[in-house]
Amino acid sequence: MSERRPLVAGNWKMHGTRAEAAALVDGIVRGLRPNAAAEVLVCPPFVLIPLVAEKLGGTKVGWGGQNLDPHASGAYTGEVSGPMLRDLGCTYVIVGHSERRAYYGESDEIVADKFGAAQAAGLTPILCVGETLEERESNRTETVVARQLDAVMGKHGVDGLARAVIAYEPVWAIGTGRTATPDQAQEVHAFIRGRIRSRNAGIGGKIRILYGGSVKGGNAAELFRQPDIDGGLIGGASLKADEFLAICHAA
């Protein structure tokens, strides 16, 4: 049995009114088994964080951001910084989600800067890596994932991963209903862990690597049973309390 405590993190993306967010977190808190093994986290849109923080304070469910600016403060209109998230009680922040990389032009370098900004603010970054369908079909999965990982290790050293979580999210599996098979996911997770382990065995052994991409109540247990999968980053299924709880309880 691994000493790594599983983490199940919900990425709400750009969804939810205040009323919907309140009902969702109430449902999660009500339904989460007291003996659940997994650490549970929700990442709402920025504007819903104060409400969620108020509801989740004192419960076992944590909250985090979906993104942050690389700067701590300044003239960056429309942006939100790590210290602001920390001030709202966030403990984690997602960096390098494939939607940020694809739609907002976030390069490996920007992602590495955001990773450092998160840690400087006292937040644990959840670093997303993953290949597109075209990259997988041309056998470039490992090359792409290694490049994304090395950009962060190049800037922050392998020690930078001592206080971080990685999420392997094949782009072709995100929001598509197409999940990587447990074997496909395990193969890449083992590759990621091996790459970190080759630089620092302790950090490689301890770091949690989540799988993300169309995880549901029905497929979570089989994915989470893989030796190098330490929980999940959940998009669509994190918006329904029952479905999200089923995933949390599968971990």
- Please identify, using beta-carbon distances, which residue of 117 and 171 lies nearer to ligand PEP: 171
Binding piece for ligand PEP, criterion CB under 6 A, among 52-60, 189-197, 230-238, 240-248: 230-238
**Which of 50, 57, 154, 175 forms a contact with ligand PEP (CB under 6 A)?**
175
16 near ligand PEP, judged by CB under 6 A: no
State which residue has the least CB distance to ligand PEP. Answer: 235
- Please identify, using beta-carbon distances, which residue of 149 and 215 lies nearer to ligand PEP: 215
- Please identify, using beta-carbon distances, which residue of 203 and 239 lies nearer to ligand PEP: 239
Binding piece for ligand PEP, criterion CB under 6 A, among 49-57, 129-137, 150-158, 235-243: 235-243
- Please identify, using beta-carbon distances, which residue of 21 and 233 lies nearer to ligand PEP: 233
3-state SS track over 172-219: HHCCCCCCCCHHHHHHHHHHHHHHHHCCCHHHHHHCEEEEECCCCHHH
Structure tokens belonging to residue 173 = 């599996």
Residue 97 is among the residues annotated as catalytic for this protein: yes
44 near ligand PEP, judged by CB under 6 A: no
- CB of 15 vs ligand PEP, minimal distance in Å: 11
Cβ partners under 8 Å of residue 154, min gap 6: 112
- CB of 69 vs ligand PEP, minimal distance in Å: 20
CA atoms within 13 A on the CB side of 7: 26
CA distance to 21, 93, 242, per residue, from 74 (Å): 30, 20, 41
Distance, in Å, from the CA atom of 94 to the CA atom of 72, rounded to the nearest integer, reads 16
Cβ partners under 8 Å of residue 240, min gap 6: 24
**Which of 8, 111, 234, 241 forms a contact with ligand PEP (CB under 6 A)?**
234
In degrees, to the nearest 5, what angle opens at C-alpha 13 toward C-alphas 139 and 171?
5
Distance, in Å, from the CA atom of 160 to the CA atom of 13, rounded to the nearest integer, reads 26
11 near ligand PEP, judged by CB under 6 A: yes
Helix or strand or coil: residue 97?
coil
Binding piece for ligand PEP, criterion CB under 6 A, among 59-67, 107-115, 189-197, 233-241: 233-241
129 near ligand PEP, judged by CB under 6 A: no
235 near ligand PEP, judged by CB under 6 A: yes
Distance, in Å, from the CA atom of 109 to the CA atom of 116, rounded to the nearest integer, reads 11
Catalytic annotation, pick one of 39, 135, 169, 243: 169
214 near ligand PEP, judged by CB under 6 A: yes
- Phi-psi map region of 175: left, alpha, beta (phi>0 left; psi -120 to 50 alpha): left
The residues binding ligand PEP (CB under 6 A) are 11, 169, 174-175, 212-215, 233-237
Q: Active-site residue numbers?
A: 97, 169
